Amino acid sequence: MSLEAAIMGFLAEEPRSGYDLKTRCFQNQAGAFWTADQAQIYRTLERLQSSRMVSCTRRRQSGKPDRKIYRLTSAGETALAAWLASPSPITPPRDSFLLQVFFSADLADDRIVENLSARRQAHQSRLDELRSEVVAQAEQTLAPERTRILRAAAFDGAIARERASIDWLDDTIEAIKSGHLPAGQHRAAPIDSQLPETGSA
Amino acid sequence: MSLEAAIMGFLAEEPRSGYDLKTRCFQNQAGAFWTADQAQIYRTLERLQSSRMVSCTRRRQSGKPDRKIYRLTSAGETALAAWLASPSPITPPRDSFLLQVFFSADLADDRIVENLSARRQAHQSRLDELRSEVVAQAEQTLAPERTRILRAAAFDGAIARERASIDWLDDTIEAIKSGHLPAGQHRAAPIDSQLPETGSA
DNA sequence: AAAATATATGGGACTTGTCTACTATATGTT
DNA sequence: AACATATAGTAGACAAGTCCCATATATTTT
């Protein structure tokens, strides 16, 4: 549903081909909020066409294969407007990393810290990407200011969450490093050590 | 994959039935990080059994149907340990709400504020749930301290993100209310008004 | 006595999204 | 000449998850 809406949102700006959507729209722009692989974009376009939300015209090109240019129909505009005004569903939580933390009592301290640090790295890269995307977006002075501000707000939302994750990771790493995490009495052998416990029990 | 791991994580604590997992584990405890409906829990248990990660013993009950108690095998313990030590995949962003914000330039200011406020409400409820879950978890003094602390850390991660979202929403609502968002020159008619524009253009 | 609710387990259809790979042509590189 | 890359679109298998529903029984409520 969201992918349909996102595609309609981009087509509302201007008509585009599946290829445009894939390379231009879902890589930089909306890639921060929704990703879709090529196969799915094409299939969603077909579905939108068969439900009359978009229309399609073929454009010949010399040498390259034909482009199929999709444009939003008036039914599509209505559907897009309805989606924009409707509350978007709260997605059920699905965070495999927090799940790992939740279950990692049997993991040695330094292993836990490793995992947290790696995760920190990943969030940091994503934050950097988001920031550079904000800059790129701000430079596109062709779009009306209202559009630019709202898009910036969306990016800010994503950025705020990345920052929160990083801060939490820093705090947690710090807490473990300074020994606030008591050693466990392991059910069986500690996960990454064949040695018997020496002095921690 | 994560659901398999989560189930194994719970079975590592103690043997349980599918019903236990559904009602006790995936509703309160890990429900904050991963949800699964009943159908999927049972099917995943079957899959885990056929790959020898868990074993199953039937227990008769008078009146009620038999319980199938699943326990982690040693192969399962190994697989769980491997999962805990492996970096969890970064999931591609998929946030329909930010997508809406991204595309909502054609929506009237007060509509946008409505949407943001509704979202704020939702995040606030989720935050409250998380907090009460932390309290509930802290009261379970039967679990070893190490376990409790790590679970609390996982909840803190989720809480940190909820708070960040709420703060961002507050800021954004405030910015729009104080008129920082310029009116748009609409492509067509403004989305939720049949009246011609009067004084905003 | 009928109806709802909790316990316990399962089946089947469906949607979304991922992964792979294939067809074509033009351009640029080694 | 062989190869990679960009353009543009198509096709099929598959995994994960959601939704709705069926089957039992026991207890509690109306």
pLDDT at A74 over 80: yes
What's this model's pTM, rounded to 2 decimal places? 0.89
Q: What 3-state DSSP class applies to B159?
A: helix
- Judged by CB atoms closer than 8 Å, whether chains meet at A98 and B157 is answered as yes
Start-to-end Cα distance in chain A: 54
Q: What is the Cα B86 distance to its own chain's centre?
A: 21
Beta bridge partners of A98: none
Q: How many CB atoms neighbour CB A183 within 10 A?
A: 16
| Per-residue pLDDT reduced to its tens digit, B22-49 | 999 998 788 899 999 999 999 999 999 9
Nearest residue in chain B measured CA to CA from A186 = B144
Report the distance separating Cα B161 and Cα A166, nearest Å: 10
The vertex-B31 CA angle with B25 and B37, nearest 5°, equals 80
In strand D, the nucleotides that come within 7 Å of a protein beta carbon are 7-13, 16-21, 24-27
**Which residue has the least CA–C1' distance to nucleotide D6?**
A64
Helix axes B96-103, B109-139, angle to 10 degrees: 160
- In this prediction, residue A103 carries a pLDDT of 96
Closest CB from B84, B104, B160 relative to A84: B104
Report the distance separating Cα A163 and Cα A31, nearest Å: 18
| Per-residue pLDDT reduced to its tens digit, B53-70 | 999 998 888 777 888 999
CA of B43: nucleotide with nearest C1': C10
| Per-residue pLDDT reduced to its tens digit, A82-103 | 999 999 988 999 999 999 999 9
| Per-residue pLDDT reduced to its tens digit, B130-187 | 999 999 888 878 889 999 999 999 999 999 999 999 999 999 999 999 988 888 766 5
Report the distance separating Cα A132 and Cα A138, nearest Å: 10
Residues with CB under 7 A from strand C: A 1-3, 35-40, 62-65; B 17-20, 22-23, 38-39, 42-43, 45-46, 61, 64-68, 92, 94
Report the distance separating Cα B54 and Cα B73, nearest Å: 5
Interface test with B, best of A161, A162, A185 (most B CBs within 10 A): A161
